[in-house]
Amino acid sequence: MAEIAEGGGGGHGKGKKRAKKSSTRVDMTPMVDLAFLLLTFFVLTSTFSKPKMLPLAYPAKVEETEKQKGPKMNNGITFLLSEDRIFYYQGEYYNKDHRDKDGSVTELKEVDFGTGEKSVRKLLGKLNNYVLVKKQGLDEKLKRKELNDSTYLKKLDALRVKREALKVLIKTDEEALCKNFIDLVDELKIAEIGVIAPVDITPGELQLMKEKLKK
């Protein structure tokens, strides 16, 4: 702070009163201290990653009377979630009373959320290869400016729901966590899957999963 001139006390001599020469420098230490304090506060409290949103369309509710046998699944896969584990089976569900053409029944396989051989990502990459390869072609075209952004998006949307594209059902039991569910949806979006339907689990599937969980 600027120094305050001391009051001219006492009679020092009889000469002219001279204004005391005070230094033109101001002590800036407190101000700088405060500046650094504020700096630390803002650095520590601010978060830069704004939350994002993950869109997911749910199937429309159907009246109970309209509810008949589920639609025939063409090139479909069903994921079953419980606690922090994830199982899947391909195609339709078959049990003892309703066997597949070759007499087999549905068996669950387990996958994980890593990046290894037994991960969801590898599995989906393999099964949805058709879409992923075609998408790469579209990406190339977009890069070479042969397509504009809106037609690219339109083509991509059409590609994702094609006959050859993989369709996914997600079923959960009462122990499944939201983290797993979102992680799975995230993996599905990475794999460019267009049809994602979270649906109710059937008692047969629940039983199958319980048996798997015990092991």
Name 182's Cβ contacts closer than 8 Å, sequence gap at least 6. 54
> Nearest distance from residue 182's CB to other proteins, in Å?
4
Rule CB under 8 A: is residue 5 a binding residue for other proteins?
no
The residues with which 76 forms a beta bridge, in sequence order, are 167
- Per the CB < 8 A criterion, the answer to whether 147 and 141 are in contact is yes
Q: Give backbone dihedrals phi and psi of 120, rounded to 5 degrees, phi first.
A: -60, -40
- Per the CB < 8 A criterion, the answer to whether 121 and 88 are in contact is no
50 DSSP 8-state letter: -
Report residue 155 as tokens: 């083509």
Among 36, 114, 162, 211, binds other proteins (CB under 8 A): 36
Rule CB under 8 A: is residue 177 a binding residue for other proteins?
yes
Rule CB under 8 A: is residue 199 a binding residue for other proteins?
no
Binding mask 108-147 for other proteins (x = CB under 8 A): -------x-----x--------------------------
Rule CB under 8 A: is residue 58 a binding residue for other proteins?
yes
Nearer residue to other proteins within complex by CB, 64 or 97: 64
Nearer residue to other proteins within complex by CB, 27 or 107: 27
46/97 Cα distance (integer angstroms):
60
Q: Could you tell me the maximum CA-CA distance found in the chain, to the nearest angstrom?
A: 124
Binding region for other proteins (CB under 8 A) out of 16-24, 59-67, 97-105, 149-157: 59-67
- Count the site residues for other proteins by CB under 8 A: 42
Report residue 77 as tokens: 């896969």
Rule CB under 8 A: is residue 190 a binding residue for other proteins?
yes
95 DSSP 8-state letter: B
Rule CB under 8 A: is residue 12 a binding residue for other proteins?
no
Report residue 20 as tokens: 């005391």
Q: What is the contact surface with other proteins in residues (CB under 8 A)?
A: 28, 32, 35-36, 38-39, 42-43, 45-46, 49-61, 81, 115, 121, 172, 174-183, 185-186, 189-190, 198
